[in-house]
Structure formats: structure tokens, C-alpha cells
Amino acid sequence: MPVTLAWSTPGAALLAGAGMPDGGWPAAVGAFLAVGLLIGLTGLLPALGSLIGRIPVPLAQAMLAGVLLPLCLAPFRSLGTTPLLVLPILLSWLLLTRYAARWAVPGAMLVALACIGTNLVVTGAPAPTALLPSFSWTVPVLSWPALAGIALPLYVVTMASQNIPGAAVLKSFGFQAPWRSAMLVTGAGTVAAATLGGHAVNLAALSAALAAGEEAGPDRGRRWIAAFSSGWSYLVLALFSAALVGLAAAAPAGVLETVAGLALLGTLAGAISAALSDPSERTGAAVTFLVAASGLSLAGIGAAFWALLAGLLVRGVLRRPSP
């Protein structure tokens, strides 16, 4: 069965917009551990999965859209500060989106790397020297602000935007995802990866369609090879992670942010569309979106949590009982 596992891309976007919690990186790692335990419990306790399933999809998507908005504005803000570097990236992305949409983001990334390399040659900035990754243990710290501001929103986003859609994508191609074992395995994977910086392991959603669909071959019984190959590809890419981080540190401001913003445009558009699809949920979704995009932080807890709370409150007040 072509069950594809990945990391939570919406979760990474959530973390990028949330900022460092009180307690620093150890508190964030503690929050990642909590997410892994919650995902595992979802497989063991059907009631927990049912509770997550009851969170209105428009509110969850609105929360995600609000977090993504500042990131997706980065390409256009950077255009005003470093136009000579950002403009080629935007043009390459636009042309590839028109003629080869699947390669638009990878192509933009290659152009960005070329721009970074050219800038390093011109400015004489030192190139990254550490090419191989190294392991660094972090002792996790549990803190209530990090649990509320990172763990809970990250768990909700991962379940609502990755695990549940991932199972639905598999089902749409005629495969029944092993829900219980998938949650236990991804929960254990998240716990194991947390102390090394992994924020959430989950069922893939978008890339699951590539492994489960016709593009993976006409024989449905052999499409598991595509998912198997993707896992090995992750391991190969991991060998270059340190070099990529060093290159990112040497990159001019705004270049990599431009690529990230372009890569997330589709996710932002999908989240906004899903958030506003139901007219009866639009007000609550709009409030959720605005609170999440505002960057509000109270009691050390990030905007994502307050956005979901505000959306549920508005929804509860405005929702009329059925006659």
C-alpha cells in the first residue's frame, strides 16, 4: 500500500510564524514531544480522534491561512529591498507555473541558489564549510506556554491538514489507510525525532496523491514502490542538510524567504478557499484568520492558539440552534 509519511509542512509554517516560545528551544522540543504523544494517543483513544474531527474545518484552515499570510507576503516585500535577486526568482516561478507547474518551486529554488552563489562570488562572503550534518542532543523542557502556544496548534494543524486529508487522499484512490497503526507509528516517530529538531511526522497529504495515483504506475499493487522510494530520498537529502543550512545563513535577506513564500502560495489559497467555503462559518473563520495573522501573543502563548479560541467563541455565539 502506498502509505507515504512526511513532516508537517503546515506545521513548519505554523512554527515559522509563531516565533520562539518562553523557555527557548528546549521548550519547543518539549512541545514537539507532546505532539508525538497526542498523535499516538489519537490512535489508541478513538474519542480523541473524534474530538479533533469535531473542530470545524473552516476554523482550522483559517488559522493555518492566518499563519501563512506573513510568510506569503515575503516575496513581494523582498522585491522592494533586493529586486535584482528576487525578480529572477519570481519570473522563473511564474514561467514554470505556466508551462511546467510541477517544477515551479524546485526551479525557483535552483534560481535562488544561483543568485546566492553569484552574490557570494561578488561580495566575497565565506561559503559554508560544514557539509555534513552533526547530531546535537537537546534536553526537553515542558512549559505551559509552549504546550498551549505550540503543541496544541501544531497537533490540530497536523491532524486537520495532514493526517485526516492524507487518509482521505488514500481512500480516494481506493486504499484504506491503517489509521490506528499509522497514528502509533507517526506518533512514535515524532517523539523519536523531537530531540533532534523534528516537529511532527505524519501521513503525507499532497505527496500522497503522487504515490497513490496514476502517476505512480498503472498497477495499483506496485504503487507502494513510489512511497518506498520517497523515504529513501529523504535520507539522501538529509546528508546535505547542514550544507543547505550554511548556504541559507550566507544568503542575502529575502532570497530564501521568497522561495518559501512562493512554495506556500498554493497552501494559502487552499486554506482560504476551505475557510470561506461555508457561508455559515465565514464570520468565525474571518475572525480566526485575522487573529492568527495579527501575531497576537498573550501570556507567552502564540497567535495560533488564540485564533482558534476566538473563532470557536464567535462561532458559538453566532450559531443558531436548528429549528
DSSP string of 61-124, one letter each residue: HHHHHHHHHHHHHHHHHHHHH-HHHHHHHHHHHHHHHHH-GGGHHHHHHHHHHHHHHHHHHHH-
Q: Which residue has the cell 562572503?
A: 125
- Residue 200's domain spans which residues? 5-318
Per-residue cell: 321: 440552534
pLDDT of residue 301: 58
Q: At residue 247, does pLDDT exceed 80? A: no
Mean pLDDT confidence for 184-202: 90
Q: At residue 114, does pLDDT exceed 60? A: yes
* pLDDT range class, residue 184, cuts 50, 70, 90: very high
Domain-embedded: residue 12: yes
Mean pLDDT confidence for 60-64: 79
pLDDT of residue 31: 92
pLDDT of residue 166: 77
Contact predicate 6/202, CB 8 Å: yes
Q: At residue 269, does pLDDT exceed 70? A: yes
Number of domains making up the chain: 1
Averaged confidence pLDDT in the chain: 82
Mean pLDDT confidence for 90-94: 92
Domain-embedded: residue 290: yes
CA dihedral of 309, 314, 320, 322, whole degrees rounded to 10: -20
Contact predicate 5/202, CB 8 Å: yes
Contact predicate 274/256, CB 8 Å: no
CA dist 301 to 52, 142, 291, 296, Å? Answer: 20, 14, 13, 9
pLDDT of residue 6: 85
Domain-embedded: residue 104: yes
pLDDT of residue 49: 62
* pLDDT range class, residue 294, cuts 50, 70, 90: confident
Contact predicate 223/216, CB 8 Å: yes
pLDDT of residue 254: 82
Q: How far apart are CA 86 and CA 75, in angstroms?
A: 7
What is this structure's pTM? 0.65
Contact predicate 263/93, CB 8 Å: no
pLDDT of residue 183: 92
Per-residue cell: 64: 493555518
The more confidently predicted of residues 127 and 197 is 197
Q: How far apart are the first and last CA of the chain?
A: 45
Domain-embedded: residue 115: yes
Of 70-74, 77-81, 212-216, the range with the lowest mean pLDDT is: 212-216
Q: What does the angle CA 171 – CA 33 – CA 204 come to, to the nearest 5 degrees?
A: 20
CA dist 74 to 107, 250, 265, 323, Å? Answer: 18, 18, 11, 47
pLDDT of residue 127: 54
pLDDT of residue 50: 66
Mean pLDDT confidence for 112-136: 73
Q: How far apart are CA 74 and CA 9, in angstroms?
A: 17
Domain-embedded: residue 323: no
Mean pLDDT confidence for 254-272: 83
Q: How far apart are CA 267 and CA 160, in angstroms?
A: 13
Mean pLDDT confidence for 83-103: 88
